[in-house]
Amino acid sequence: MPKITVLPHPEVCPQGKVIENAPTGESICRVLLDNHVELEHACELSCACTTCHVVVKEGFQSLAEASDSEEDLLDRAWGLSTTSRLACQARVANADLTIEIPRYTINHAKENH
The whole-number average pLDDT for the span 49-56 is: 95
Q: Is the dihedral of CA 97, 100, 101, 102 positive or negative?
A: negative
Above 50 in pLDDT, residue 108?
A: no
Lowest mean pLDDT of 12-16, 84-88, 96-100, 104-108, name the range. 104-108
pTM of the shown model: 0.90
Phi/psi at 54 (5° precision)? -130, 160
Domain boundaries, the chain: 4-100
pLDDT at 88: 96
Share of the chain above pLDDT 90, in %: 81
CATH of domain 4-100: 3.10.20.30
What's the confidence (pLDDT) of residue 78?
86
State the chain's mean pLDDT as an integer: 91
- Fill in the DSSP letter of residue 60: G
Q: What is the pLDDT of residues 69-102, one digit of tens each?
A: 999 999 999 889 999 999 999 999 999 999 999 9
